[in-house]
Amino acid sequence: MTQPQRQFSLGAFLMQTGHHIAGWRHPEAQADAGSNFRHYVDLARQAEAAKFDAIFLSDSSGIRNTHLPSLGRTARSDFFEPVTLLSALAAVTERIGLIATVSTSFHEPYNVARKFASLDQISGGRAGWNLVTSSGSTEAQNFNHDSLPEHAERYARAREFHDVVLGLWDSWREDSFPRDKRSGIYLDTDTLRVLNHRGEHFQVRGPLNVNRSPQGRPVVVQAGASEAGRDLAARTAEVIFVAHQTFEEARAFYADIKGRLPAHGRRPEDVRIMPGIFPVVGRTQAEAEEKFEQLQSLVDPVVGVALLSTVIGGVDLSGLDVDGPIPALPETNGPKSRQQLLVDLARRDRLSIRQLYLRIAGARGHQQVIGTPQTIADQLQQWFEEGGADGFNIMAPWFPGGLTDFIELVLPELRQRGLFRTEYQGRTLREHLGLARPS
C-alpha cells in the first residue's frame, strides 16, 4: 500500500491593510481594515474556502511607533484585540484554525488560559495561542513599567507562564462534566486537578473554570529565534513562526530545532516549523515585478527609516544619511534574532539604510518572493522537501488582493504538485496540522 504524499501547512497571516508598509495606499486596499470587522470576515472565509490550516493575528499591547511624522503615514495604529476578533470570526467560520498572539510579559496566565480555552470551546477545537515575549518599550509603559525587563528575565517568565497555562488547561478530563439530571451529579469532582502552582513569577491555585478543550488543549505557537527563543520553542512550541532570508538559514534553523526536541522528550513530528513568506504574484515575472515596484514607490522615506529603526531593535536611525551604511548597533533588549538577521543582510548585500528599509518594507525580515505561480511554488517546494520548512505563513502584501492572488494563482500550482490539500480531513486545528492530541 502506497503512503499518501506528505503535504505542507499554510497559515494566512492577516495584518490590517497588508504586510507591505505602504499597502494601505494601494488603490484597491481596504484602507480602514484594522477596525473593519466585515473586512476580516471576508478574509477568513476566503482563507477557509481555500483550505488554509489557520488564520493568524499578531498583536502588540500598544502602538510601537512613537515617531509621530511616520506614525501619521502608516496604517498600524488601529487594530482589534485578537482574541476578541477571533471569537467573533469563530461564529462565521466552521473549519479554519484561529491563532492569536498574546504576550507573556504583561498578562497573567489564568486570564490567558481562560481566554484561549473559551475560544477553543466556541470554535469547536480550532484555537491556537502564539506565545511571545514583548519587545517594545511602549508596551511596558502601558503596564506600570518605564522600560522592558531584560531579555533573559522575559524568557524566564515566559517559560513559567507556559507551564501554568498548560497546567490550567489540564484542570479537567473530557468526562469531568456528566451533567446528569437524574443523579444530580453535574461535575465529577474526582477528576478535578487543582494546580496549586507557586513559582518564581506566579502563584496560581486553579482550577480553570472552563471545560477541557475539544482538541485536548489549544495549539501552542512560538515565534522567537534567538538562543533563548529557540530553547523555549524546542521545549514548548507545537508550531514555530520564523523569519529567514535564505534557504541555508531556514535549513540550519530547522535542523537545530528538530535536533533539540529529544532533550525535552519530544519527536520531530511534534513541531511544525512555518517560515513567513511575502509573495508578490504575477502571471509573468514582469507583471509580478511591476506589482512590487508599485508598492515600493508608495514608501515614504520618513516611514521607511522609522520602520527600520523599530524592526532593527529600537535604534533611532532618523539622523543618519539614508544612503550611507548601517552603523554599528548596540545590543538590543528587544528582538535579538531579528536585529542580527537584518545586520547580516545589510553586510552581506552591502545595503544602505535606504536600500535596507526598502528591502524590508514588505516582509520585515521574512523571505520575499516575487514571481510567477510556478517560480513561487518552486521555492516553497524546495524549502519543504529539502529540510527547511513544514509549511508557510503567507504574508500578503495588501488586502484583500494580495491574498486573492496567492489563492487563485499559486494554490492551483501547489495542488497540481500534490503539496497542499484540496479538502479538510479534520475539524480541529490539531487535525489540520497533523499534531497529536495531548493526553
Question: Is 393:13 a contact under the CB 8 Å cutoff?
Answer: yes
Cell numbers describing residue 439: 493526553
Neighbour count for residue 124 (Cβ, 10 Å): 15
Buried b (16+ CB within 10 A) or exposed e, 76-104: beebbebbebbbebbeebebbbbbbbbbb
| pLDDT score of 69 | 79
164 vs 313, higher pLDDT: 164
Confidence of residue 66 (pLDDT cuts 50, 70, 90): low
Average pLDDT, the chain: 92
Question: Is 68:24 a contact under the CB 8 Å cutoff?
Answer: no
- Whose CA is closest to 213, among 99, 84, 116? 116
Radius of gyration of the chain (CA): 22
Buried b (16+ CB within 10 A) or exposed e, 222-235: bbbbbebbbbbbbb
| pLDDT score of 318 | 84
Which whole number is the average pLDDT over 62-87? Answer: 84
Which whole number is the average pLDDT over 80-100? Answer: 97
Question: Is 242:254 a contact under the CB 8 Å cutoff?
Answer: no
Residue 257 above 50 pLDDT? Answer: yes
Can you tell me the distance from the alpha carbon of 128 to that of 117, in angstroms, rounded to the nearest whole number? 10
Residue 137 above 90 pLDDT? Answer: no
Question: For 400-433, what is each residue's pLDDT tens digit?
Answer: 999 999 999 999 999 999 999 999 999 999 999 9
Neighbour count for residue 375 (Cβ, 10 Å): 16
| pLDDT score of 74 | 85
Query: Which residue type, as a one-letter code, is found at position 205?
Result: R
Cell numbers describing residue 389: 520548512
Which whole number is the average pLDDT over 69-75? Answer: 82
| pLDDT score of 424 | 98
Residue 2 above 60 pLDDT? Answer: no
Question: Is 190:95 a contact under the CB 8 Å cutoff?
Answer: no
Among the ranges given (6-20, 80-94, 140-154, 256-270), the one the predictor scored with the smallest mean pLDDT: 140-154
Question: For 354-396, what is each residue's pLDDT tens digit?
Answer: 889 888 888 888 899 999 999 999 999 999 999 999 999 999 9
| pLDDT score of 65 | 66
Can you tell me the distance from the alpha carbon of 432 to that of 430, in angstroms, rounded to the nearest whole number? 5
- Whose CA is closest to 64, among 153, 158, 134, 112? 134
348 vs 280, higher pLDDT: 280
| pLDDT score of 206 | 97
